[in-house]
Chains A and B, each alone.
Chain A
């Protein structure tokens, strides 16, 4: 079964790169650029994994995370947060994020983390 990843990122070029990486790896990627639209998407088409930017316009990443955790349908969905600052990590951890990736991240790192969170094996050497 194809894994479904919901990517919530307002930077279009970062989103495009991540989307390319995950799609090429066989995943299905939905994309939202702000929190409210992302929550609607998450209800309509529940993802297997959420990649969530910390600094979003309107609702912050932490507010989106809190909404996801408050909804029984998405309470257990693994969430990876993309943060710009090291100290955001602690805050995100307290808010219920499962993994963190500090910008600027490497493609190999993010792909490995996503695979691990989805329980998928790594690439064959």
Chain B
């Protein structure tokens, strides 16, 4: 495999550092001086064999010229450039990494830190905006405070207050001060309890369940499904999370009944991760197949589920496909196209904004059901399987959610991004 052009510049720097002439090194390496000149000016790529001879001729370790170890750094910096706008000379990133590996490493680590901070800001912002527990706690505090203020003012500003009214307002004041104390204590407890949770973002029962599943590698074996995992579920912090986890296990158990582990694995190996083909093979619902596929380690699939309102009810992330923690996702997700036309598959190759050149193949499908019969409402549920993709061809550019999306010209944007203006492309 030819080495990249960046190696030529480095080769020249190392030769000069050793005080060697181009012609002498070329002779020792068994190549012409003109060819070495072209290599050093990055106008010819060089094979590993020639590079090894050149390294020996200069008297350096060949690995010092290797490009592979810098590939990850180059990729990180390309991602940083994609997020940071058009100021960076992307075409010279390899040269930069090669010449200044320390600075490049520092830049990459700062970029990683910046990404982590953005995620934390997003989590905190979302928590403030959408967290039902926090919202309820603050509302309770404000209501108590409003009552205390109004009542105390009446008592303070009404010297001729009737004794019966005065007694009533004193009683109210006492009640509200107790509520205020309890509310403040609950709020502090709520914030304290969540300080240690990863990225300080877990705030809802659904996230608690997803965190539990993440800890299990998103996998529950059929044998474990039969036991019900009662002990693990009992260890979840909130009753709402325990209820959701119980429902998740019950549904997974039903899926496993229709799609048993061994036959399903065999069919998957034969057919591949095609939910409709697998559904046909087992006479199962495609949604059940998609849930089952998301639990198979060999598929490496992410999965999102949503109800008829578009609210994400389950989120198993895929690498390079960040999922929103709260609120609605990107309206361009094929998930929502499927939700609008049940029983019709939607497949697309997508590219997530801010994730470099990484692509995914997504397959979405929606089903309807009528649990209360003809007289009851129609319920919809959609799923989107997120698969790694190395294919070529046109892609649909999507985001995670508008709040953290860098697509500046998106026709579907519904609110401004919280990212700095320079990050918006």
Contacts and interface: CB of A to CB of B under 8 A. Distances in A.
Interface of A: 11, 13-14, 16-18, 20-21, 24, 55, 82, 84, 103-108, 110
A35 to B, nearest CB: 17
Given A84-B139, A103-B146, A105-B149, A13 B175 contact: yes
B138 A84 contact: yes
Contacts of B165: 20
B143 A106 contact: no
B106 interface: no
B206 interface: no
13 contacts: A13-B151, A13-B175, A14-B147, A16-B151, A16-B169, A16-B172, A17-B150, A21-B154, A82-B146, A104-B148, A107-B153, A107-B157, A108-B153
A13 B169 CA distance: 8
A104 B146 CA distance: 4
Q: Which of B142, B157, B172 has the most CB of A within 10 A?
A: B142
Interface secondary structure of A, over-half rule: helix
Contact of B143 (A21, A103, A107, A108): A103
A24 B157 CA distance: 13
Interface in B147-175: 147-151, 153-154, 157-158, 165, 168-169, 172, 175
B141 to A, nearest CB: 9
Nearest to A16: B172
A106 B153 CA distance: 8
B146 A105 contact: yes
B139 A105 contact: no
Q: For the side of the interface on B, what is the size category?
A: 20 to 34
A14 B153 contact: no
Contacts of B153: 106-108
A105 B138 contact: no
B142 A103 contact: yes
B145 interface: yes
B150 A14 contact: yes
B239 to A, nearest CB: 21
B172 to A, nearest CB: 4
Contacts of B169: 16-17, 20
B176 interface: yes
Given A21-B154, A104-B142, 14 more contacts: A11-B146, A13-B151, A13-B172, A16-B172, A17-B172, A20-B154, A20-B165, A24-B158, A55-B139, A103-B146, A104-B150, A107-B153, A107-B157, A110-B150
Nearest to B129: A87
Contacts of A16: 151, 168-169, 172
Contact of A13 (B142, B157, B158, B176): B176
Interface string B36-74: 000000000000000000000000000000000000000
B175 A84 contact: no
A17 B142 contact: no
A118 B43 CA distance: 85
Contact of A17 (B138, B145, B151): B151
A104 B154 contact: no
B154 A14 contact: no
Contact of A107 (B139, B142, B154): B154
